[in-house]
Chains A and B, each alone.
Chain A
Amino acid sequence: MKTKIPLSLSVTRHLAQAVLSPQRAREEVLSLAPGEARGRFALEGILNVACLQLKAGQFHRFGDWLQHMAALMGEALKKESLLVCLPKYAFLELVRCLPSGGEGLFYALRSPEAYRQLLEGLGDYLCQLACEVFDALAQRYGVYLAAGVIPTRVGDSWRHRMYLFGGEGEPYTQDELSPGAFARQAGITPGEELAVKQTASGTFLLLGEEDLGYYEYLKIGAAMGADVVVTPSWENPDVMAAVDLPRLRAQEENLFVVRTAAVCDGLNPVVSGAYGPVALSRMRDGIIRETARGEEERVLTARLDLDRLHGLVDLEVAQRSPELEAQLRELYFPEGE
Chain B
Amino acid sequence: MKEDLEFSKDLVLLGLDIPDKWDLIEHMTDALAHAVAPGERGGVTRNRLYEAVLTREREKATGLANGLAFPHARIPGLPKPCLCVARLRAPIDFGAMDGLPVDFVVLLVVPEDQPNIALRVMSQFARLFGDAQERAYLLSLADAESVHEFLARRVLSPETLVTARDIMREPYVSIHPDTPLKDVTRYMRRFGLDAIAVVENDGTLVGEITCERLFTLGMPDFFSQLKSVSFISEFDPFEKYFAEERQTTARDVMETDYAAVPENATLLEIVFELAVRRHSKVHVVQDGKRIGAIDRILVLDRVINI
Tell me, yes or no, whether A binds B: no
Question: Which residues of B are in contact with A by a Cβ distance under 8 Å?
Answer: none
